[in-house]
A and B are shown apart, each in its own frame.
Chain A
Amino acid sequence: ETGVTQTPRHLVMGMTNKKSLKCEQHLGHNAMYWYKQSAKKPLELMFVYSLEERVENNSVPSRFSPECPNSSHLFLHLHTLQPEDSALYLCASSQARGPGYEQYFGPGTRLTVT
């Protein structure tokens, strides 16, 4: 599990706060992903980056803003969130974006919006 790290592990924020989630992968991968995991719902893919270029944005509200400064780091900037945004946010990476490459996940950030 140390291949993909995420900080912080837990975050409580008010609806007017601005915070950022950080992900770092130590696997030399070229693709990185943000997922949202809510109770009793399948994993929701939010964003995909391939070689630092955003290649997918699955209808995510603009209050979530991703940033990928290099192939090892991925951020998710949060602002004016809603209580329904409370969830586990998972970062993942894969060697490439192609369909046969498995993804490696970080431990997640448990976000609570109050």
Chain B
Amino acid sequence: AQSVAQPEDQVNVAEGNPLTVKCTYSVSGNPYLFWYVQYPNRGLQFLLKYITGDNLVKGSYGFEAEFNKSQTSFHLKKPSALVSDSALYFCAVRETDSWGKLQFGAGTQVVVTP
């Protein structure tokens, strides 16, 4: 069975500082990994995904994520956070050779202060 963990309920960062949102996963095969962001009263927006290839994936709004197979992690990063990045971030995983569902983490609230 696949699972995903976001160990931090909330991450606080000052504007202009680097932002990291952590995600670890567990699958029996090879993973497809996704990051989504949710702003208040809105649906989830797709940020980026890892399927195969380069471990560093670049996505929307200046976000990137690094796939680390040995640590089973897929942390989301942004070099310089903006106040507008304050939102709820979800990591999700799906096994490659599976019709199984996309498993979402519980979410991490990011608060960027001016």
Contacts and interface: CB of A to CB of B under 8 A. Distances in A.
22 contacts: A1-B42, A1-B43, A40-B106, A41-B106, A42-B103, A42-B106, A42-B107, A43-B44, A43-B104, A45-B101, A48-B101, A58-B101, A97-B99, A98-B99, A99-B32, A99-B98, A102-B49, A106-B43, A107-B41, A107-B43, A108-B41, A110-B41
Interface stretch (B13-21, B61-69, B88-96): B88-96
A42 B104 contact: yes
A22 B99 CA distance: 25
Interface of B: 32, 34, 36, 41-46, 49, 51, 90, 94-107
A104 B102 CA distance: 13
A6 B32 CA distance: 27
Contacts of A49: none
Given A56-B101, A100-B51, A100-B96, 20 more contacts: A1-B45, A6-B43, A42-B105, A43-B44, A43-B104, A45-B101, A48-B101, A90-B44, A99-B95, A99-B97, A99-B98, A99-B99, A100-B32, A100-B49, A102-B34, A103-B102, A105-B36, A105-B45, A108-B42, A108-B43
Contacts of A45: 101-102
B106 A99 contact: no
A4 interface: yes
Describe A's contact surface by its main secondary structure.
loop
A107 B96 contact: no
Interface residues of A, number: 26
B43 A105 contact: yes
Contacts of B99: 55, 97-99
A23 B43 CA distance: 13
What 10 pairs between A and B have smallest CB-CB spacing? A105-B43, A105-B44, A43-B104, A99-B94, A102-B46, A45-B101, A107-B43, A42-B104, A99-B32, A100-B51
